[in-house]
Amino acid sequence: MQPDNKFYSKEQILQKLETFCAYRERCEAEVKQKLFSLQVKNEDVDFYIQYLKENNFLNETRFAASFSRGKFNIKNWGKIKIKQALQVKQIDANKIQQSLEQIDTTDYLSKLKILLIKKNKNIREEDENKRKQKLFAYALQKGYESTLIHQTIKEIIK
């Protein structure tokens, strides 16, 4: 482990950044944070970002698509939560929209239904209205759209 006050050469920094970006998709904000941790001067940040983009290590469109797929498929997040998380990472609105459009509508609705059915089995509430409120709150917290949640709850609780 390197001491905190160690200064790296340009080649060492490039090597570290290439490894960092090759491990998984990264966004520009994450790379800037890494550069900060490597104590890179502010005036050199643009050089490194440009290098990574030119050599296809850094691509925010690819990052947004990968992030969206992962959060939807693995964490079961809805589009609202995914969009907010990408905004926090300072991703361009058009790239966010493109990544969300790649999520299949049928899969999206199916995942919401499966989530609500599973949650419904675990709720110990007898009152139907309170049960619906809990399901709604759960799906809303997961980032799904309220209109879709209402429709799905109507389907599973009759």
Give dist(CA 132, CA 89) in Å, integer.
33
Give the Cβ contact number of residue 77 at 10 Å. Answer: 21
Q: What is the pLDDT of residue 157?
A: 87
Q: Is the confidence at residue 5, as pLDDT, over 90?
A: no
Question: Each residue of 73-129: pLDDT tens digit?
Answer: 999 999 999 999 999 999 999 999 999 999 999 999 999 999 999 999 999 988 999
Q: What average pLDDT does the segment 44-58 reach?
A: 95
Q: Is the confidence at residue 1, as pLDDT, over 70?
A: no
Whether the Cβ atoms of residue 152 and residue 114 lie closer than 8 Å to each other: no
Give dist(CA 146, CA 158) in Å, integer.
18
> What ranges do the domains of the chain cover?
10-54, 60-101, 105-156
Q: Is the confidence at residue 30, as pLDDT, over 90?
A: yes
Q: Is the confidence at residue 2, as pLDDT, over 60?
A: no
Q: How confident is the model at residue 145 (pLDDT cuts 50, 70, 90)?
A: very high
Q: What is the pLDDT of residue 91?
A: 96
